[in-house]
Amino acid sequence: MENSIRQDLIEVAKGDSEYYLPNDTDADDSNQSIYLLNAILSGTARLNVLLPAATILAFTILTPILTNDGQCTAFDRWLVGFFLTLSAASCIFFSFTDSFHTATGRLYYGVATIGGIRTFCGRRVKPCVPSDYRLRWDDLFHASLSLIAFLTFAASHGDVLGCYNAVMPRKVTNTVPLVVGFVTSVLFVMFPSRRRGIAYPFLLG
C-alpha cells in the first residue's frame, strides 16, 4: 500500500514541473558527494602533517646561517651536505612513525617495522591489533613523496645553489618547487596516509 502511494506521488511530481520529490537514487548521489567532499577536506587538513613542513621550516631558518648567505668555504659545503642528508633522513623517518592507544587509554609513539610497531620508550607494549601497524608499501610511497618535496625545495634554494656554485634559471627555481608541491599535495589527498605519527593533530580524528 505504501509503495503504491509513493509511486503515485512520484508520477504526480513528474507531471508537474513546479514540484519535485527526491527518490532513492538522488539520496545515494547526495551521500556519495558528501562523502567525497569530506574525504577531500580531511586529506587537505592533514597536508601540514604529511608534507615535510617542519623539516622545510627548519631548513629555511638554518640554511642562511650554515651557508653564510651562500658564501661557503670548503668546510661549510661539508656541513651543508650533512645537514641536507640529516633533513632528508628525517622526512623518511617521520613518515614511518605512528601511535596507538592501549587498553588503559595511554598513548604510545613508535616506528613502523615489518614485524609491527616498536615504541620509543623501549617497553614491549603492543596495540590491540599489531598487524594494523606493520610497514606497508604505501608507507614507502608517502616517504618518497615527502622526500621528493623536500629535495626539490632544497635544490632550488638560493643559498644552497650559491654555496655549491650552481647556476639555475630563476624561472626554474620559482616554478619547479610550486609544481612539485602541488602534485605531491594532490597525491597525498588522493592517497592519504593512515599513520598518526609525531606531531599528528588528534583533533582531526
> Sorting pLDDT into bands at 50, 70 and 90, what band is 33?
low
Left, alpha or beta for 84 (phi > 0: left; psi -120 to 50: alpha)?
alpha
Does residue 144 lie in a domain region?
yes
pLDDT for 18 beyond 50: no
What backbone torsions phi and psi does residue 93 show, to the nearest 5 degrees? -60, -50
Enclosing domain of residue 160: 26-95+137-196
Does residue 102 lie in a domain region?
no
Mean pLDDT of 128-142: 84
Query: What is the Cα–Cα distance from 64 to 69, expressed in whole angstroms?
Result: 5
Does residue 40 lie in a domain region?
yes
Does residue 131 lie in a domain region?
no
Query: What is the Cα–Cα distance from 142 to 195, expressed in whole angstroms?
Result: 10
Contact (Cβ atoms closer than 8 angstroms) between residue 96 and residue 73:
no
pLDDT digits (tens, 9 = 90+) for 42-85: 444 455 555 677 788 888 899 999 998 888 899 999 999 999 99
> Sorting pLDDT into bands at 50, 70 and 90, what band is 36?
low
Q: Which residue has the higher pLDDT, 175 or 199?
A: 175
Does residue 106 lie in a domain region?
no
pLDDT for 198 beyond 60: yes
How many structural domains comprise the chain? 1
Does residue 119 lie in a domain region?
no
Mean pLDDT of 4-18: 48
Q: Is 55 exposed, middle or buried (0-12, 13-18, 19+ CB in 10 A)?
A: buried
Does residue 38 lie in a domain region?
yes
Does residue 111 lie in a domain region?
no
Give me the pLDDT at residue 51, please: 65
